[in-house]
Structure 1
Amino acid sequence: MTVQKEDIDRLGDNKKESNQVFYISLGIVFAIVFWGLLMPENFENTANSIFNFLVSKFGWFYLTSMFSFVVFSIWIAFSKYGSIKLGPDDAEPEYSIISWFAMLFSAGMGIGLVFWGVAEPLNHYMAPLGAQGGTTAAANFAIKKSFFHWGLHPWANYSVFALALAYMQFRKGKPGLTSSIFIPLIGEERASGSIGKFIDILAIFATVAGVATSLGLGTLQINSGLNHLFGIPETGLVQIIIVAVVTLLFMISAVSGLDKGIKILSNTNITLAVLLVVAAIIIGPTVLIINAFTEGVGAYLNSFIKDSLQIGAFSDSSWYGSWTIFYWAWWIAWAPFVGTFIARISRGRTIREFVGGVLLAPTLASFIWFATFGSLGINLGTGIASKAIESTPTAFFVVMQNYPLGSLISFIAICLLCTFFITSADSATFVLGMMSSNGDLNPTTKRKLIWGAIQSSLALALMLAGGLSMLQTASIAAAFPFVFVMIFGMVSLIKALRNEEVVN
């Protein structure tokens, strides 16, 4: 009877603590949103000042940290700890390799690939660093840098966070919370105290802000695509309708649960993405695409260490701040969301399987994507490239209209944007439900629906108010502490692994 009473008390305390995190997080999110809507100039100036300070003073820190994540991930995969399972020794993976990859890829990149697949290479092609725009050197630079920004670094960033969390969650039976990563370092009591709550609340804010920004950008690109194909106007009303329809769809998916909703949508994403790439390779300059991929991989590997640590110390470093460091900060801002989701779906895999799957497969897919659509854009010359980069949301469609069956490919891309949109929002509601329910692996439908409504409303409000870029900047600035979370995560994981009895 005493044991039962203790269990009831413990469950009550956990529920109380999770509700505290939930309500405090809601309050902070709403306060930030109202600040952005009511005093946009003040909000923008503050966010920009913080971000510019971080980029100018701590750019080196972003570079060295992200490089250390890559080194750590590769080391731990080949170390004696690589055979350790994320779960009990007899645990088996919950999902097939294809479904697992589909889910982690959809959550980790998703909308960003479609949004930047044409736009980034063409931006680099027209304004390369240290070369003349529109030249062969510019084209080589464009492919190499696109590979670099979407290659191993972002996925190593997710891997470090997700691996530490999955280990604590499934191997040690701790809550699926960011604060659990710190248990081997500071103890369970402190990790579940005020320090831990602060970390979990910060993770929730970074997730809400990051996902809301991406959903807003996705809405703008869907609207742009519909305008190009069907003449549907790019207006606030149309964007409200798009958000409403997609919200309804991901709410249905959220109710269906992880094994049905997100899994089915993620598999659909991979199918559409493969169809899109294959169609683009067939109708585009096929040999050029294959050559660009081959040469791009070689250039990426050849200058990997140099590019990883290059910051323009004795030259104009503004380019690195605008592109590489901005990307690194943005990936770190996404780490709490993507890392938590990847951890949730990775139970039963060994550390070696986990790192190999999270690092290599998505990186290869990104290389194929940027080689394909970057080559399609560059092949059309500087005239089309200049027109395409005038507006990032329309860049993809401007390029596609110059190829046979371009309208069909654009339509497939819009469908892919919608499924990526739904999957990202669905994954985010799941993760936010976990984060605000003391790490519950299967949060209640009610809590998921609340977070779903909040992030869609936030995306819509800031999009209509022109504040998406402000929110993106704010979320990146606020996520700076997560660099330390991941660094400590590596140290914490090593400390915990040293207590394992490893059988080689």
Structure 2
Amino acid sequence: MKNRLIDWPTFLGAFFLLLLVTVPLIIFPEKGQEFVNRANEYMTTNFGVLYLIVGIAIFFFLIYVAFSDNGQIKLGDKGEKPEFNNFSWAGMLFCAGIGSSILYWATIEWAYYLQGPPFGIKPGTKESIAWASTYGIFHWGPIAWAIYTLPALPIAYFYYVRKKPVLKISEATRPLIGKFADGPIGTVIDILFMFGLIGGAGTTLALGTPMIAEGINRLTGIEVNMILKTLILLFVTLIFAVSAYTGLRKGIKVLSDVNLWLSLFLLIFVFIFGPTRFILESTTNSIGLLLDNFFHMSTWTEPFNALGPFNKTEFPESWTVFYWAWWLVYAPFVGLFVAKISRGRTIKQMVLGTMIYGTIGSLLFFGVLGNYGLHLQLTGEMDIINILNTDGAPKAIVNVIGSLPLSWFMIFVFTILAIIFLATTFDSSSYILASVVQKEVEDEPVRWNRLFWAFALCLLPLVLMFIGGLGTLQTASIVGGFPLLFIMIMLGWSFMKASTEDIRASEFYEPKTINLNYRKILDRLRRRKKEKEKKGPVDAHFEDE
């Protein structure tokens, strides 16, 4: 009976597409890698400006939505309270959105910017240091979380307001594509989303596993090799498989709460026992620099360097465009997850909460961990850049944490945090993948379905990790995620179309929130249709729904 809930075309289509990409990479790794890298270079070079435009457009669109009548819509029934308190809600959306990647990049990203600064600035100058401290906060800031938030609008609206028990990207585009959402077009939209998510999860895996391995090496002396990385991956898989099996309220919520408390402990410890004044002043300076140059950073394309006598650094393509593409690949997943945990909140609360909590969380990580590492470099206490260039980022990151007081204990905390971060990202991913391949999700996806995608997320990237093709899968997922640029536009348009029509048709308002009773709206429209038959085509949308 439960198997009838599975949308088999989407289920098998996503799985076979992944095999279609990974099998040739296993058989022809060099040619496959060359093809994917060329496609990625062509896309970022020729369409990079499109990513930048879509990114800033989404940011301003969501600000408009939050303070419009559409933002006052309640996700749920009248008088219904939020399903999760603010702490747990913020923890779940933050852990799902950033994973162990933030431990990786917050600690070391400044070192890349210091060696290759933006805007043609010379490396090693005071100006380059200021930008090195700032650019990570920008890349993980408001636009990133705005991209994450957009898909949550139509998905949450249809799930909680129109009471459609379907958690699919195709369902969220129904106001635009109509009955095509039930056919091949809808299936293709869902498969593209799933492929992007599985590949994007590979990126998180590629960053998190070696970092955890280095932490274990420092704690136990065990050599970092493929066997250790495989055992780490299997252990993390076991954690998120159990969490995904137990469900949203027990597994994912508990892991996210633990993660948030450990994160706060790590940040507070580094802030107090590290260079407190430098961290505070550098972070404050970075916030000012970011606010002063937000539009410039959001739209910088380096056009003149490509034509004139100046050297083209390719900084926008290598960093900003890559990040925006990465966020787009993950956006439908995070949007689905945010929608699922936001019952009882208004659209405004969901939008502003996700963007504000997410940005503040990222700011704290980059401000504290990043500036602590930067301080070690500038004072000469540790040549982190040399370690980075010689031994790789994971070793540099663990050395930064190992320079703290109680170094063994702090590396232990950092490693545990990285493991749980990786697990929370993956259990959220498997939960959403399982939701997308079901025709209906009344409460939670079927358990065997959740477990299948939990292990699918692990096993396929593991095969590629053995042959050294994981980076190719990451790049392929970003290339394959290019259509998501247009799907994101469709999602925003669908939400505005559906919610605006419902608001205009509804007479059921509360002082501070709009509580839409969709059944009453439909009854009212049907009565109006009988009275004025000529107006039938105008209200046909509601009849279809």
Shift of 1:97: 0.8
Aligned to 1:284: 274
Aligned to 1:385: 384
Deviations 1:283-342 (A, max 9, x none): 210001111111111111111111111111111251111111011101101112211111
Aligned Cα root-mean-square deviation (Å): 1.8
Alpha carbons 2:5, 2:440 under 8 Å: kept: no
For residue 240 of structure 1, the aligned residue among 226, 230, 236 is: 230
Shift of 1:55: 0.5
Shift of 1:405: 2.5
Letter paired with 1:50: A
Aligned to 2:536: none
Aligned to 2:47: 58
Given the alignment of the two structures, is residue 71 of structure 1 paired with residue 60 of structure 2, yes or no?
yes
- CA separation of 1:317 and 1:173: change in aligned 2, threshold 3 A: farther
User: 2:62 and 2:48 mapped to 1: Cα distance?
Assistant: 22
Given the alignment of the two structures, is residue 331 of structure 1 paired with residue 360 of structure 2, yes or no?
no
Letter paired with 2:68: S
TM-score (norm 1): 0.94
Alignment of 1:263-342 (within 5 A): 263-315=253-305, 316=312, 318-342=314-338
Shift of 1:224: 1.3
- The count of residues paired between Structure 1 and Structure 2 equals 492
Shift of 1:486: 0.9
User: 1:167 and 1:121 mapped to 2: Cα distance?
Assistant: 39
Shift of 1:410: 1.9
User: 1:357 and 1:66 mapped to 2: Cα distance?
Assistant: 19
Aligned to 2:533: none
Alignment of 1:13-92 (within 5 A): 15=5, 18-92=7-81
Aligned to 2:362: 366
Shift of 1:428: 1.1
Mean Cα deviation higher: 228-237 or 103-112: 228-237
User: 1:47 and 1:172 mapped to 2: Cα distance?
Assistant: 41
Aligned to 1:496: 498
User: 2:60 and 2:285 mapped to 1: Cα distance?
Assistant: 24
Aligned to 2:454: 452
Shift of 1:213: 2.9
Alignment of 1:119-268 (within 5 A): 119-129=108-118, 130-174=120-164, 175-187=166-178, 189-268=179-258
Shift of 1:343: 1.2
Shift of 1:253: 1.3
Mean Cα deviation higher: 426-435 or 259-268: 426-435
Alpha carbons 1:119, 1:388 under 8 Å: kept: no
Alpha carbons 1:178, 1:200 under 8 Å: kept: yes
User: 1:365 and 1:155 mapped to 2: Cα distance?
Assistant: 11
Shift of 1:237: 1.1
User: 1:196 and 1:293 mapped to 2: Cα distance?
Assistant: 45
Deviations 1:58-96 (A, max 9, x none): 111000000011101111111122211123344332111
Shift of 1:439: 4.8
Given the alignment of the two structures, is residue 394 of structure 1 paired with residue 404 of structure 2, yes or no?
no
Is the partner of 1:389 in helix, strand or coil? helix
Alignment of 1:458-477 (within 5 A): 458-477=460-479
Aligned to 2:405: 404
Q: Which runs of 5+ in 2 are unaligned?
A: 306-311, 513-545
User: 1:265 and 1:144 mapped to 2: Cα distance?
Assistant: 30
Alpha carbons 1:117, 1:396 under 8 Å: kept: no
User: 1:183 and 1:313 mapped to 2: Cα distance?
Assistant: 39
Alpha carbons 1:400, 1:407 under 8 Å: kept: no
Alpha carbons 1:283, 1:404 under 8 Å: kept: yes
Alpha carbons 1:213, 1:459 under 8 Å: kept: no
User: 1:421 and 1:151 mapped to 2: Cα distance?
Assistant: 20
Shift of 1:246: 1.6
Aligned to 2:527: none
Alpha carbons 1:280, 1:409 under 8 Å: kept: no
Alpha carbons 2:149, 2:334 under 8 Å: kept: no
Letter paired with 2:170: S
Alpha carbons 2:283, 2:371 under 8 Å: kept: no
Alpha carbons 1:208, 1:455 under 8 Å: kept: yes
User: 1:406 and 1:280 mapped to 2: Cα distance?
Assistant: 11
Shift of 1:228: 2.6
TM-score (norm 2): 0.87
Aligned to 2:429: 428
Letter paired with 1:341: F
Alpha carbons 1:147, 1:370 under 8 Å: kept: yes
Mean Cα deviation higher: 193-202 or 219-228: 219-228
Letter paired with 2:453: W
Aligned to 2:83: 94
User: 1:278 and 1:349 mapped to 2: Cα distance?
Assistant: 30
Aligned to 1:3: none
- CA separation of 1:165 and 1:119: change in aligned 2, threshold 3 A: same
User: 1:490 and 1:435 mapped to 2: Cα distance?
Assistant: 19
Letter paired with 1:306: H
Shift of 1:453: 1.3
Letter paired with 1:103: M
User: 2:243 and 2:176 mapped to 1: Cα distance?
Assistant: 38
User: 2:376 and 2:149 mapped to 1: Cα distance?
Assistant: 37
Mean Cα deviation higher: 56-65 or 225-234: 225-234
- CA separation of 1:313 and 1:411: change in aligned 2, threshold 3 A: same
Alpha carbons 1:184, 1:492 under 8 Å: kept: yes
Letter paired with 2:377: G
Is the partner of 1:498 in helix, strand or coil? helix
Alpha carbons 1:169, 1:176 under 8 Å: kept: yes
Alpha carbons 1:123, 1:389 under 8 Å: kept: no
User: 2:186 and 2:225 mapped to 1: Cα distance?
Assistant: 43
Mean Cα deviation higher: 358-367 or 20-29: 20-29
User: 1:463 and 1:310 mapped to 2: Cα distance?
Assistant: 35
